[in-house]
Each structure stands twice: as structure tokens, then as C-alpha cells.
Amino acid sequence: MNSESPLRFDVVTLFPDFFASPLQSGLLGKAIDRGIASVNLVNPRDFTTDKHHKVDDEPYGGGVGMLMKPEPIFAAVESLPVQPRREVILLTPQGETMTQPLFRQLNTELDQIVLICGHYEGVDERVLHLVDREVSLGDFVLTCGEIPALTLINGVVRLRPGTVGKADSLKFESFEADLLDYPQYTRPAEFRGWAVPDVLRSGNHAAIAAWRHRQQIDRTRQRRPDLYATWQAQQPSAESR
């Protein structure tokens, strides 16, 4: 059992079954079993008052598709307990893009995260009166908000103490210092003519560290010039060359 209070996630979703396997698998499932985090699923359909349990309707002014109605979403969120450090997040393509700094912020600043998963053509605009933050998985459109919700849960929970076996590994992975990760190799030393770089087999830890850092810089410059520019702007000129 984890000594810290678990980070609580409340997910407002029309499809609770979507989360069944992911929340029981891998490190995420183990973290939940250990009490590092908890995930509560709440279905807005359970808060409808009509006999058909209707959660969507046509948009005013016309248009293609249906919108999620505000009443069931409000009722679902308002049924939840409120912890002092809480944010309600709507998963929407119009939100800020998920990043590692965002995951770190949510992990360190909050005790409860309420995630509203949109569907159809989105949610009634009045739902935003419930929301503290809008978050997107990226500049594309998915069929549901459950996929980005699960991504956010995974990204935040893995930062919690006790989720990842070697906490130091979190310090050296992609995006933690505005650089991509360095190339990594395991046995065999040679495979189909491709050999592991000699420096990694040298036993010289200082040389290995220098090689890895150089690889991070070069890989970021080549693959993510935007990220490289951010990193470079934070470095003294002698170190950024």
C-alpha cells in the first residue's frame, strides 16, 4: 500500500467498459492496486431523467451531428466528492495540447482530476462553466474523449512515486529536459551487421554520459527542431553549440 494519499481520477464517460482492460494492465494496473491512484468511472446516462436516458440532442441553429446535453454532465460531476485541490478537465480538440510539463503540473498540484469525455460533435457550450481546463491529445479528431482521457491518466500516474520501478529513469527520458531520449541498445552486441556503439561497451561512464547527451541534442535538432529551439534558448551559448 502506498503511504501517500492516492491521486483520484473521476472519469465522466458514456463507455465505462472502455477503461476495463487498460486500468487492470501493466504498470497502471499495478499502481491502482497499490493505492498510488484511484479511478472512478461515472456514466452521465445514469443521471438522465427521461425514459429513454437521452444524453444527446440536435444543435440549435442546425448543423451536422448531435451534441451531448448539459444536464446529465452537470449532474454527474456534481454527484462527485470535492477534494481541495481539484480540476475538472474537458477532453476536446480545442484544448491545450498534452505535454510532459502538463503531466508534471497535474501530478504535483492536484489531489483530484475530473475528466469529461466528449462524444458526437462535442458538448453543449454551457458545460464549460464546469470546466477548469480544456485538454487535447493533438491536432486531430477522434471518435471519443476516452482515448485522450486514458492517455492523461497514464501519463500522470507514471510520475507518481512507486509506479515506475527506477525513479531515476524518469529524469532521463524524452521531454524531461526539452530533449528527446538517446539511442539505447541491448544484447546481442551485433545484429545483422549493426553493432552497438563502442562507447557503450567501454565501461567509461563519463564517456557514455557525454555520448548520450550529445545524441539527445543531435536527435532533437534533427527530429524536433521546435523542441530543440526551446532547449537551446535555455542554454548558455557555450553549452548549446
Which residues are CB-contacts of 64 (< 8 A; sequence separation ≥ 6)?
121
Q: What digits encode the pLDDT tens for the residues 111-136?
A: 999 999 999 889 999 999 999 999 99
What pTM does this model have? 0.88
Is the CB of residue 13 less than 8 Å from the CB of residue 117? yes
Which residues are CB-contacts of 134 (< 8 A; sequence separation ≥ 6)?
89, 90, 91, 92, 94, 95, 96, 128
State the burial class of residue 16 (Cβ atoms within 10 Å of its Cβ: 0-12, 13-18, 19+): middle
Among the ranges given (76-85, 123-132, 165-174), the one the predictor scored with the smallest mean pLDDT: 165-174
Q: Which three cell numbers stand for residue 157?
A: 500516474
The residues with which 42 forms a beta bridge, in sequence order, are 12
Q: What CATH code is assigned to 173-240? A: 1.10.1270.20
Q: Side chain identity at 60, as an amino acid letter? A: Y
Q: Residues 7-157: name the CATH superfamily.
A: SPOUT methyltransferase, trefoil knot domain (3.40.1280.10)
- Return the domain boundaries, the chain: 7-157, 173-240
